[in-house]
Amino acid sequence: MANVVVIGAGLGGLPAAYELRHLLPKEHTVTLVSDKSEFTFIPGLIQVAFNLKPLSHVQMGLAQLAQRHHLNWVSGQVTALDTTQQCLTIEGQEAIAYDYLLIATGASLAWDRVPGTGPHGGYTHSVCTPDHALEARQAWLDFLENPGPIVVGAAPGAGCFGPAYEFALIADQELRRRGLRDQAPITYVTPEPYAGHLGVSGVRQARELTAELMQERGIEVIDNATITAVEPQTVTLADGRQLPFHYAMILPAFQGAQFIREVPGLGDDKGFIPILPTQRHPEFANIYAAGVSVKLAQPDVTPVPIGLPKSGQMAEAMATAAAHNIAVDLKAINAKPQVPTLEALCFAEFGETGIAYIAAPVLPDPKTGKRKRSYAVRGPWVVWVKAAFEEYFMMKIRFGVGMPWYERLGLRSLFGLQLLKDVSSSAKTAAPGSESLVG
């Protein structure tokens, strides 16, 4: 019988493994491979960095989850992929053969593109991984003893901006709460063409609400900015400006995992994997991909290059579609293939208030340049909803649930989002980036 291997146990990979285990008969094996020992709800790491919650609140042990939900768990880093022999090399272990492969590795962090960035040998902090968040937390506690200027932002080529806004605005709230805000001016530096772009143009009210909030909080915004280097306590921009800091959090550009970049034809020059609408690789019929690891082109030409955001919700929808389609391939279910619509909802927590950004879909229709709907709304309810969703998601992970029908129904009823749909026969083989990709 088939061995379906999922690489990555994050917001896309673990739900995909759960979906596969639910859809496939017991004679098929679902193998989960990850170099992490714990599942981490990555959006919760900002709270960890500010010492507002312990890391354990957003983590669960993968070995226990795999055993409980009948997954074959392999702990280790993938160092090589042989698409001819259909096997993976895991560091320090024997090769693993696969019949189907679902790659949901997330991204590697391209710190080397901007000298001096990153917590490992650089001078800036990050909230991209658990160890980064813990290091950022210790640095934050030290900073509170000796406050000064803060620089928050993103490097050129970055496609994930929401955490940077959240970090800047929660820092503002925490400093005000301690009576330290007047000692710590905050500057937000971004390659976005304007505050509130977040890698997705044309979202109604996003620009106005975001800029208004940054102005209310006294946060200086430098947009269309290229960070060229970071030195101890100084961020340098391409226009020659130098920004002093006592604390800096800069999000990097992403790239694909190293093993993807080493397989001819698997990924592009940055290691992102091209996909058909069904999440299948166009050249390797038994390889699927989901989440940040896939190639989705930024449709806008901006003065400073930026990527397209791939939210956790998008990753989960892609992973669910991939799992469904593998089950169809294996004739485990009698159903039509599915595609993710790439309709996205982002809850951004900004202290005591927040902004919900909706883009349905993220990629506009290539013919009309329009979306079905896109808008932003602000209110304290966003903070409550985000906190509730975190608890709900962790409960799902604990109980081995992927993307249940009631979650899809709720998102559709409350926000008009349809995360998945059946694919037409013509869309199965449409070229990546075509209209069929986004429906």
Q: If you ran DSSP here, which 8-state letter would residue 253 be given?
A: P
Q: Which fold has domain 3-107+256-438?
A: FAD/NAD(P)-binding domain (3.50.50)
Amino acid at 85: Q
Q: If you ran DSSP here, which 8-state letter would residue 261 be given?
A: H
Residues assigned a catalytic role? 160, 346
Outline where 223-274 has alpha helix (H). 258-261
Contact 325, 286 (CB under 8 A): no
What pLDDT was estimated at residue 427? 52
The predicted model scores a pTM of 0.93
Domain 111-251 coded CATH 3.50.50.60: yes
- Distances from the Cα of 256 to the Cα of 106, 307, 350, angstroms: 8, 13, 30
| Distance of alpha carbon 378 from alpha carbon 383, whole angstroms | 10
| Distance of alpha carbon 106 from alpha carbon 158, whole angstroms | 14
Judge if the upstream peptide bond of residue 361 is cis by omega within 30 degrees of 0: yes
State the span(s) of the chain assigned CATH 3.50.50.100. Answer: 3-107+256-438
Contact 256, 108 (CB under 8 A): yes
Other CB atoms within 10 Å distance of the CB of residue 302: 16
For the chain, list residues with pLDDT below 70: 425-439
As to burial, measured by CB atoms within 10 angstroms (0-12 exposed, 13-18 middle, 19+ buried), residue 375 is middle
State the span(s) of the chain assigned CATH 3.50.50.60. Answer: 111-251
